[in-house]
Amino acid sequence: MLSFSAVIACSTPKNRVLQANHTPVIRTDTVKINADAVDLPPVTEALEAQQAVDIPVVVTTEDQVREMMRQGINKGADWTETIHYDVRKPNFVIIHHTAQHSLNQTIRTFQLPHTKVSSHYVIGKDGRVVQMLNDYLRSWHAGRSKWGNVTDLNSVSIGIELDNNGKEPFPEAQIGALLSLLDTLKTKYQIPFTNFIGHADIAPTRKDDPSVLFPWKRLAERGFGVWYDESNLLPVPDNFNHVDALRIIGYDVSNLRAAIIAFKRKFIVVDTGETLTEFDKRVLYNLYRRYF
């Protein structure tokens, strides 16, 4: 019999997964799948059978991966296995704040079926890092978004949620843990430094996270994201097109007002209005010349 096998392993040890009371925890065991299982009843049928007799069901990562692997086999075709393939490789990191009130609450939110939202990592105020999904799998954190020509950020990014209600400072322990995690991800996946961005950057009409209190300058100094040269803000040339500059940096300018506000929340901070001042234009021009 022709065989098909795959291994998907989560890089986070089991003891790093936080378990709240009465909360189903997604298992992070190594999942091994063999094609002999293709002839077995699909997981969905097994779950339906269990539900028919009122047995509580928790759909784990292993269950979902098994079902995906089954669906990926076309029984109407002959099978002969290639040796050249890859799984999804992340090329962006998107940073969020949770807009909730605790690490436990966010973990619970990401484990409820009806919320339809998730993230690869959640970082607590005390610096605790909880991984909730294998880096190679696609989480549902970006939503409707765009950056440059990329319109499906979920498929190419890792999502990191910071436990923060959106109105409070980010503690030193939390930022320290974030920087350590970013360093690991950047090195492991060779993510370009310009591709460390925020949720508000990619969804400016819907989102404002992380908040204006987030230390983007500090991240840029460590090689995660961009920042302007505060000592070299040159006058803007007469032919400088600020709309084109925003677009080239990555912003979706189809709603120019939202793009300007997102830009100012990140780089200007003290003024988040919808109009670019002369100073704002100098900052934008500096970023444009420096990185793009």
Domain boundary among 71, 100, 127: 71
Query: Would you call 230 a catalytic residue per the annotation?
Result: no
Report the length, in residues, of the chain: 292
Residues 102 and 66 in one domain: no
Residues 184 and 246 in one domain: no
Is residue 258 one of the residues assigned to a domain?
A: yes
Structural domains counted in the chain = 3
Task: Give the per-residue pLDDT at 50.
Answer: 45
Domain boundary among 71, 101, 120: 71
Domain boundary among 215, 234, 250: 215
Residues 26 and 114 in one domain: no
Residues 13 and 61 in one domain: yes
Q: Could you identify the residue written with the tokens 């979706």?
A: 252
Residues 180 and 210 in one domain: yes
Spatial CB neighbours of 219, under 8 Å, sequence gap ≥ 6: 179, 182, 196, 225
Is residue 224 one of the residues assigned to a domain?
A: no
* From 45, 67, 161, 278, active-site residue: 161
Is residue 85 one of the residues assigned to a domain?
A: no
Task: State the pTM of this model.
Answer: 0.78
Structure tokens at 124: 């607590």
Is residue 76 one of the residues assigned to a domain?
A: no
Residues 49 and 108 in one domain: no
Residues 156 and 190 in one domain: yes
Provide the CATH number for the domain around residue 147: 3.40.80.10
Task: Give the per-residue pLDDT at 58.
Answer: 63
Task: Give the per-residue pLDDT at 46.
Answer: 46
Task: Give the per-residue pLDDT at 57.
Answer: 57
Is residue 226 one of the residues assigned to a domain?
A: no
Residues 183 and 119 in one domain: yes
Is residue 80 one of the residues assigned to a domain?
A: no
Residues 115 and 202 in one domain: yes
Q: Nearest CA to 137 among 149, 153, 120?
A: 120
Residues 248 and 286 in one domain: yes
Is residue 234 one of the residues assigned to a domain?
A: no
Reading the chain (292 residues) residue by residue, the pLDDT tens digits are 433 333 333 444 333 334 333 333 433 333 333 434 334 445 445 444 444 444 445 677 788 888 878 888 888 898 888 888 778 899 999 999 999 999 999 999 999 999 999 999 999 999 999 999 999 999 999 999 999 999 999 999 999 999 999 999 999 999 999 999 999 999 999 999 999 999 999 999 999 999 999 999 999 999 999 999 999 999 999 999 999 999 999 999 999 999 999 999 999 999 999 999 999 999 999 999 999 9
Residues 96 and 67 in one domain: no
Is residue 133 one of the residues assigned to a domain?
A: yes
Residues 106 and 187 in one domain: yes
Residue 261's domain comprises 242-291
Structure tokens at 165: 């209600």
Task: Give the per-residue pLDDT at 3.
Answer: 37
Task: Give the per-residue pLDDT at 81.
Answer: 82
**3-class secondary structure per residue, the chain:** CCCCEEEECCCCCHHHCCCCCCCCCCCCCCEEEEHHHHHCCCHHHHHHHHHHCCCCCCCCHHHHHHHHHHHCCCCCCCCCCCCCCCCCCCCEEEEEECCCCCHHHHHHHCCCHHHCCCCCEEECCCCCEEECCCCCCCCCCCCCCCECCECCHHHHEEEEEECCCCCCCCCHHHHHHHHHHHHHHHHHHCCCHHHEEEHHHHCCCCCCCCCCCCCHHHHHHCCCCCCCCCCCCCCCCCCCCHHHHHHHHCCCHHHHHHHHHHHHHHHCCCCCCCCCCHHHHHHHHHHHHHHC
